[in-house]
Amino acid sequence: MDAMVLEEQKKPLVLRKVPLPHISANQLLIKLTACGVCRTDLHIIDGELTQPKLPLIPGHEIIGKVVDTGSAVTHLKIGDVAGVPWLGYTCGKCKYCLRGQENLCKAAGFTGYTIDGGYAEYAVANEQYCFPIPPIYNNPSGAPLLCAGLIGYRCYSMINKNAINFGIYGFGAAAHILIQVAISQGKKIFAFTRHRDIDAQQFALQLGTAWAGGSSEIPPKKLDAAIIFAPVGSLVPKALRDLDKGGIVVCGGIHMSDIPSFPYDILWEERSIQSVANLTRKDAEQFLTIAPKVPVKTEVTTYKLTDANKALSDLRNGNIHGAAVLVMD
């Protein structure tokens, strides 16, 4: 099968012919329809996440059809459309798994990082970490839901349900999905984009945000909560300054540049900072139930599998509104 392979970090992916993977008892063989291109893929390729298996097939926003099943598979069958997210395995035995924090599992495996992922014609995944895809999302537009959507939803779930005014810093795939969920639930969104990115600000306003501006601008209202998707540590004290009393800053990225020191008075009055690590299967089940009801619609730019390096470059340079998705022939 064709696959785009990371052979060395900080180097472009290479097109390779690799053997069709074998499945074990609990696994599925999936023929891919699409795979989203996520900023986490950039962090892996650029060496900011330092422990990938190499060589590696990246990609963890997978949608495809099940074409073979292991002997112990019980919930999905050949012909089903399955989604595969970042969390690909947990031990089920460590203290984190036992207390409902499988996203922190000591032995977790991650799709497209420690487990080969979806920049390929076929992928293997553990059935317990795959999800039936609603028919509305059985196409390239569904792929970003498997990470951008799930991480955005997990960030959103960290926030007090009574919060109304939300700031979102970094207007990419996760933001444009989350905005739709939040607005459907009566929230007011204040979008912060790269400096002078007028196109992104217009896109945010078209999606129904109450306000859109550059990341250095002051919003017209104090925020009840802020979610930071951009991997920029200096946005943490900026968001704290934008918060009202008792507000929370949620950092949604897997990687962020160093957070500069800041005065205690912008954290005081019971403001807080919360990081989000990975996701749980419960997050996926809840979000994939909510998304079709909104319904969430994703803005995608599609690329051929062999154009994965171009997709990554466009994402790195901020040339994509919404999400990039590799589409398999």
**Mapping DSSP to helix (H, G, I), strand (E, B) and coil, where does residue 199 land?**
helix
**Domains parsed from the chain with CATH numbers:** 2-143+300-327 (3.90.180.10), 159-275 (3.40.50.720)
* Closest residue by Cα to residue 118 from 329, 258, 328: 328
At 135 the pLDDT is 95
- What is the chain's length? 329
CB-facing half-sphere around the CA of 171: CA atoms within 13 A: 31
pTM value > 0.85: yes
**CA-to-CA dists, residue 300 to 73, 177, 251, angstroms:** 32, 11, 24
What gap in Å lies between CA 59 and CA 145, rounded to an integer?
A: 13
HSE toward the beta carbon, residue 224, CA cutoff 13 A: 13
Distances (CA, A) of 255 to 65, 112, 309: 31, 16, 21
Average pLDDT by stretches of 10, the chain with 329 residues:
98 97 96 97 96 98 98 96 98 96 97 98 97 95 96 96 96 94 97 89 95 96 97 97 98 95 98 96 96 96 98 94 92
pLDDT in the model for residue 268: 98
